[in-house]
Structure 1
Amino acid sequence: MAGPGFRGHPAGRLLLLLPLPQALTEGPLVFVAVVFRHGDRAPLASYPTDPHKEAVSTLWPRGLGQLTREGVCQQLELGRFLRSRYEDFLSPEYRREEVYILSTDFDRTLESAQANLAGLFPEAAPGRSEATWRPIPVHTVPVTEDKLLRFPTRSCPRYQELLREATEAAEYQTALEGWTNFLTHLENFTGLSLVGEPLRRAWKVLDTLICQQAHGLPLPSWASPDVLQTLAQISALDIGAHAGPPGAAEKAQMSGGILLDAILANFSRVQHLGLPLKMVMYSAHNSARLALQAALGLYDGHTPPYAACLGFEFRRRLGDPDDDAGNVTISLFYRNDSAGLPLTLGLPGCPAACPLGCFRQLTAPARPPAHWVPCHGFYEPTTPTATVVPLLAGAVAVLAALSMGLGLLACRAGCLRDRRCPV
């Protein structure tokens, strides 16, 4: 599917995609963050004329929007890939001080995280005997409090202002006018009001059709390949307006840049405190993955498939002084096909193994500045409780285990739950 690229994005331009070898020789791995989309799911909704709507409870016994058996298998396979990739980095069995898992508060992402962990750690794998099976904790926060993986863009005045600028632009309006007749015909076929409505409504029709097609259900005669392709182009236009120019970098600061900033800050905090944490895993949605891709200048109009995984690998270069930004590199990989090798992503102007300082500099325009209130677009000091996200709450226990003192523990406990702190 073709779509708008972010060539004008100051944070990343277009990234290079190359085959990624299984083993990297840059230096020893010191930290990993992976962000993956949930596995295959049932459609999020139906539409009035859907020929399968009366059989929803039979076709999708766990309900609309829920993870399917195929989705479970996809995440199991992804977990096994991560195990093979990090066999020499992670302990053979789960250790809570080494791995932290955060998910959005949705069934499909929580179950995806659990299935992924079942592939990553043998004690959580299917078929284990009752005596040896051990569940692994997955952390979450209520949807209304999630500022890391569920961005509050709908209630953000500044973001909505930038979105209006994008949708009122001549290029957007011209494309939309060209699809008016198509959407009018689609209204007759689906029973939905689509003309003049948010384009997300047309995307939901596409999502329903694709989900049904993927599970072998016959589509109505009007849902031809050309119709599906046009719906995909409409969806790409909508995504481009939400994450691309105008104001792409500022939009990123209110969405995917928050997660990118947290990944970098988590690494810095772990290094500075000498914590044994090795990996942070984020189980999220298509929207979070797209926003993160946009913050990196990576989005090219394609929607990430189910269980797609973006990985950040931090390595320490051998022979360099022990300096956080001076001797650490970041390598990015993207896995969107279980049948092939992952791809490596390279920021223009930086080698595939990008020095940490250079990576921070290149992505700075897309990350929120300190003491910024992004939804209003001005700077002011923020209070410690202004934006609460449980990034590494489990690290509090690690600090206690390292006997760093009750006073320090009390101080860090609040800091570890504050997105502004470099955790």
Structure 2
Amino acid sequence: MLYFLIFAVAWSSAQRADIPPVKDGVMELKMVHIVWRHGDRSPTKTFKADLFQENAWTFGGGGWGQLSPMGMFQHLTLGKKLRNRYVNDVNSTYNFLPSVYDQKTMYVRSTGINRTLISATSNMLGMYGQDGYGSAAGTDFPDAQGWPRGFVPIPIHTVDYDSDHIGNMESDCPRREWLWNLAQQSEEVKNWRNSEAVSSTIDELTSYVNETWSLEDFWIVPDALFIEQIYYNASLRANNTWFSDDFYNRIVAVNDQIYMFQYGIFNNTVTMQNMNIGLELLKVRSGPLMNDMIDRINTKSDCTYSNNATGCHWINGLKYFVYSAHDETVYAVLVALGIERFAIIPHGYPLYSAAVSVEYWRNTTDNNNYFKLVYHKQSGDGFEVMTSEIEGCSGDYCSMDVLEQIARKLKPDQPIDKWCLITESSSSYSVSISFLMFVATTLNYLFM
């Protein structure tokens, strides 16, 4: 028995040892960032006249916005698919990560909401928590009755939800709200809102539910109806004679366009207060996440190929970084890359367990950095390489310079926690800062 235990521990340790680099010709995989949406959930809220209020939703602990067993299974399934793509086992595509969990190789970050935290746990269960994956009882999990065989707990890190400007696109950010209010005053948004097709749809919905909606809250109704069609379809249609597939598709189309406007996607450049409103909206929505990724990639590159290894210990072993988040988080990446029109058709937003993977590759011949963009559309799908859809890219691999230029363009003018507090144009802010510095310098001179 002792011999078997020693053998099991030694074998498990071997699985954590350095594995050969993953290569595709002259390209070598160095790091993966993946952003996914949580799985199926209950509505986060609904309209007042809805038959299905909070007490109608009992799964996942009950109440609004909780992950369902279906949602848990969707991420279990995605975790298994990610294992087959990245983990070192016989069915792997890349043999990139060790077959047994090694804490140095991966970091999982979730927004501070139940459904994203449990989605991350479910995903890790599929990726590293199954019996037969090579983990050893007594080393990787308790060898005790009652503990699920093969289940390896993996830490899920999080931050305060309201101040999470990287994962939560609805974090507390006065600047984002200020920009959105400006956008709604633009001719393009006003003309769209006042068009016959849109105004009639909104007016019709208002008369049905006896409730008015701001554009930013309009999503509540189609979101609730989408979920109710999954769980209460017969009752939904029987108790709401106004509900039809045609009307539902109409309100979804309205909501999809609102979504696009909120992310700065306009038919024409919208300039207000000497600002490109679309670009400014992207700076506060997509900018923090895109720059978080590119900064980590650059650190990985510098630490791998620089003679100065000071402060690099944490990044040298890191290969896999996860953002467990929301449809808007995935959307933020797709919009930043300009591929949302390819990735989410026919739907206007990423579906449950949608995932976008940004793979960092190094060319071993020219020693330059490249990336590959891979998309998982929904549960049950595989992975589609979409790099060539990005402007400036062709083929499966694209120069990292393209990704850096995108991140640089969308980088907030200050750290995002400070930039979110600025509710004026960049030019006005610069003038204000210059004036304040002038006043400070003058006062300092006078009182010397």
TM-score normalised by the shorter chain: which range applies? 0.7 to 0.9
| Partner in structure 1 of residue 209 of structure 2 | 190
Distance 2:361 2:57 in 1: 48
1:305 to 329, 336, 351: 351
| Partner in structure 2 of residue 349 of structure 1 | 392
Code of the residue aligned with 1:287 in structure 2: it is E
Distance 2:119 2:52 in 1: 26
Query: Which runs of structure 2 are paired with 1:188-227 in the superposition (5 Å)?
Result: 188-194=207-213, 198-218=214-234, 219=236, 220-227=240-247
Per-residue deviation, 1:217:
2.6
Q: 1:26-63, CA deviations, whole angstroms, 9 ceiling, x for partnerless residues? A: 62211000000000001112322223338515577622
Distance 2:415 2:129 in 1: 43
Q: Flag the 1:236–1:54 CA change in 2: closer, same or farther, 3 A.
A: closer
Q: How many residues align?
A: 350
Distance 1:37 1:295 in 2: 17
| Partner in structure 2 of residue 162 of structure 1 | 179
Query: Which runs of structure 2 are paired with 1:69-84 in the superposition (5 Å)?
Result: 69-84=69-84
- Say whether residues 1:266 and 2:296 are aligned partners: yes
Distance 2:126 2:59 in 1: 27
Distance 2:217 2:227 in 1: 16
> For the Cα contact (< 8 Å) 1:172–1:237, is it kept in 2?
no
1:253 to 253, 278, 283: 283
Per-residue deviation, 1:286:
1.6
- Say whether residues 1:241 and 2:261 are aligned partners: yes
More helix by share: 2
Root-mean-square deviation over aligned CA pairs? 2.9
Distance 1:89 1:50 in 2: 48
More deviation in 210-219 or 360-369?
Answer: 360-369
Q: Flag the 1:54–1:29 CA change in 2: closer, same or farther, 3 A.
A: closer
Query: Which runs of structure 2 are paired with 1:312-327 in the superposition (5 Å)?
Result: 312-321=358-367, 327=368
Q: Flag the 1:51–1:45 CA change in 2: closer, same or farther, 3 A.
A: same
| Partner in structure 1 of residue 136 of structure 2 | none
Code of the residue aligned with 2:324 in structure 1: it is S
Per-residue deviation, 1:188:
2.8
- Say whether residues 1:374 and 2:419 are aligned partners: yes
Distance 1:199 1:130 in 2: 47
Identity over aligned residues, as a percent? Answer: 26
Q: Flag the 1:248–1:54 CA change in 2: closer, same or farther, 3 A.
A: closer
Query: Which runs of structure 2 are paired with 1:13-412 in the superposition (5 Å)?
Result: 25=25, 27-53=27-53, 56-58=56-58, 62-87=62-87, 88-122=95-129, 129-130=147-148, 132-151=150-169, 155-157=173-175, 159-177=176-194, 178=196, 179-194=198-213, 198-218=214-234, 219=236, 220-244=240-264, 245=266, 246=270, 247-271=277-301, 272=303, 273=312, 275-300=316-341, 302-321=348-367, 327-346=368-387, 347-351=390-394, 352-368=396-412, 374-375=419-420, 376=422, 377=426, 378=429
Distance 1:57 1:49 in 2: 16
Per-residue deviation, 1:166:
2.1
Code of the residue aligned with 1:345 in structure 2: it is M
Per-residue deviation, 1:137:
0.6
Q: Flag the 1:287–1:168 CA change in 2: closer, same or farther, 3 A.
A: same
Code of the residue aligned with 1:291 in structure 2: it is A
Q: 1:125-164, CA deviations, whole angstroms, 9 ceiling, x for partnerless residues? A: 9x9954643211100011133221124665323x334323
Q: Flag the 1:63–1:370 CA change in 2: closer, same or farther, 3 A.
A: closer
Gaps of 5+ in 2: 1-22, 88-94, 134-144, 271-276, 304-311, 342-346, 432-448
Greater RCO structure (CA 8 Å; 6+ sep):
1
Distance 1:328 1:135 in 2: 34
Q: Flag the 1:154–1:302 CA change in 2: closer, same or farther, 3 A.
A: same
Residue 91 of structure 1 aligns to a residue whose secondary structure is coil
Q: 1:331-364, CA deviations, whole angstroms, 9 ceiling, x for partnerless residues? A: 0011113444322223222223111123312443
Code of the residue aligned with 1:223 in structure 2: it is F
- Of the two, which has the highest radius of gyration? 2
Distance 2:101 2:292 in 1: 23
> For the Cα contact (< 8 Å) 1:330–1:354, is it kept in 2?
yes
Residue 110 of structure 1 aligns to a residue whose secondary structure is helix
Gaps of 5+ in 1: 1-22, 322-326, 381-423
Q: Flag the 1:264–1:128 CA change in 2: closer, same or farther, 3 A.
A: farther
> For the Cα contact (< 8 Å) 2:54–2:63, is it kept in 1?
no
Per-residue deviation, 1:366:
2.0
Per-residue deviation, 1:240:
1.9
Query: Which runs of structure 2 are paired with 1:3-18 in the superposition (5 Å)?
Result: none
